[in-house]
Structure 1
Amino acid sequence: MIDDPARFIVDQTRLAPVAFVPEIQLYQADEATALWHLTEAALDRADMPPPFWAFAWAGGQGLARYVLDHSDVVKGRRVLDFASGSGLVAIAAAKAGAAHVEAIDIDTFAVAAISLNAAANGADISVRQADIIGSAGGDFDVLLAGDVFYDPGFAARLLPWLGALAIRGVTVIAGDPDRTYRPLARVRDLARYDVPVHPALEDAAVKRVRILGFDNCEGFQTVLPGEPGFA
């Protein structure tokens, strides 16, 4: 049993610059499979999710780069980094001048990793472990989401909520490397980046990441295999 997630993270990762966002350092794992198995064994659970917090995923790297290069998106505003993972995007928002940044994730280890990474980068971030899908919002002006369209059930819950927030006036921006369940309609490309990624995590050494802005209108859809628009 792991009694101290923060200690476990420090012992099993190393602090290193993010490939596409070298201004930010994260506690990152060198090898994905070994850490995954080690986490399962330490918690005596075989159903543990992958250690998303231990890597700079393509969508998050692209979104963090966009936020740093377009600071007006977050400057002086209240920002929520949804499904934050390592906290990379939240740290970028804090560095870009956001008035307040909150990072949310459902994983205990992610919450610990976000706190460690924020401290390593001198970023003032509020961290919370919670599932807020379906909430009315209200305490943030901007929602940022990096690499969240990888699972059909999760996307089915997430997209209507993101659309509803956009309708209410929240600026919703996602970074996505063409995951299977990405939005198909009511989004627009704000930027595109070719992002280097960990070879054990992806099917290519570089992924094309789209920065997606959600329009404030109804009708969000996902791309499903076999449907028009799937690639």
Structure 2
Amino acid sequence: MLPDLRLLLLATDYPRQALDAQAMARIMDDPLYWVFCWASGQVLAEFIFENPALVADRRVLDFGCGSGVVAIAAALAGAAEVIACDIDPLALEATAINAQLNGVSLTLSDDYHAVTGAVDLITVADVLYDRENLPWLAEFVQRSPAVLVADSRVKDFDFPPYQLIDRRESCTLPDLDESAEFRTVSIYRAEKQKLTD
């Protein structure tokens, strides 16, 4: 979906045999989310490329950056600064490598709360797979005048002031052959002015 953006990801010919219990436990204890470009990240990056005014000359914080796809798209689309935030140090390392591949500079942070100063836009893709992350939605609208969320997992998304603005089809790369229901990605936007209407 993103011919102008390059990422180092898990090879498409990765081993697909059944894993023994020990190997499965290691993966579950330390999932390497950043080796994939998840469907929602691709869709949000594409949306930013199509709407560069959303990020142009703005300070953007990409929450749960993973491989860095959305952060890199924002930088390529003209953001003044992009802060790629993830609690996984390997995700930040992957994001740094992918940013270098694309010739952009990002600020990296492993702590959302440690980022100081005003943020003009928060971007969020593929972090609502765990319903325990839903309270972040309220925190984002308190922190920033604008928030963009891309998600394919929450089917009953009803979190005012977030409003559905787009819906697109995509898949994770390399393709995990996920259920068709996870290939439909919704984009939601919340803006401060909507909070006072």
Q: TM-score w.r.t. structure 1 length? A: 0.71
1:148 aligns with 2:123: no
Displacement of 1:23: 1.2
Please say if residues 144 and 173 of structure 1, whose CA atoms lie closer than 8 Å, have aligned partners that are also in contact: yes
In 1, the alpha carbon distance for the partners of 2:15 and 2:45 equals 25
Pairing partner for 2:137 from 147, 159, 163: 159
In 2, the alpha carbon distance for the partners of 1:106 and 1:131 equals 9
Gapped runs of 5+ residues in structure 1? 1-19, 219-231
Please say if residues 165 and 188 of structure 2, whose CA atoms lie closer than 8 Å, have aligned partners that are also in contact: yes
Sort the Cα spacing of 1:131 and 1:97 in 2 relative to 1 into closer, same or farther, 3 A. Answer: closer
In 1, the alpha carbon distance for the partners of 2:28 and 2:126 equals 21
Q: Report sequence identity in percent.
A: 31
Pairing partner for 1:194 from 169, 172, 179: 169
In 2, the alpha carbon distance for the partners of 1:206 and 1:159 equals 20
Displacement of 1:88: 0.4
Gapped runs of 5+ residues in structure 2? none
Alignment match, 1:25 = 6
In 1, the alpha carbon distance for the partners of 2:87 and 2:155 equals 22
Sort the Cα spacing of 1:143 and 1:180 in 2 relative to 1 into closer, same or farther, 3 A. Answer: same
Q: How many residues align?
A: 187
Sort the Cα spacing of 1:207 and 1:46 in 2 relative to 1 into closer, same or farther, 3 A. Answer: closer
Please say if residues 38 and 171 of structure 2, whose CA atoms lie closer than 8 Å, have aligned partners that are also in contact: no
Sort the Cα spacing of 1:32 and 1:175 in 2 relative to 1 into closer, same or farther, 3 A. Answer: farther
- The code of the aligned residue for 1:174 comes to V
Please say if residues 167 and 184 of structure 2, whose CA atoms lie closer than 8 Å, have aligned partners that are also in contact: yes
Please say if residues 58 and 81 of structure 2, whose CA atoms lie closer than 8 Å, have aligned partners that are also in contact: yes
Alignment match, 1:53 = 34
RMSD: 2.7
Sort the Cα spacing of 1:33 and 1:109 in 2 relative to 1 into closer, same or farther, 3 A. Answer: farther
- The code of the aligned residue for 1:191 comes to D
What SS does the aligned partner of 1:64 have?
A: helix
Alignment of 1:1-231 (within 5 A): 20-29=1-10, 30=12, 45=26, 47-132=28-113, 138-156=117-135, 158-166=136-144, 170-179=145-154, 182-198=157-173, 199-200=175-176, 202-204=178-180, 207-216=183-192, 217=195
In 2, the alpha carbon distance for the partners of 1:46 and 1:208 equals 26
Please say if residues 26 and 86 of structure 1, whose CA atoms lie closer than 8 Å, have aligned partners that are also in contact: yes
Which structure ranks higher in relative contact order (CA pairs < 8 Å, sequence separation ≥ 6)?
2
Deviation digits for residues 114-173 of structure 1, max 9, x if unmatched?
A: 0000000101111122243xx7963321111111111121223x122023235xxx2111
Alignment match, 1:224 = none
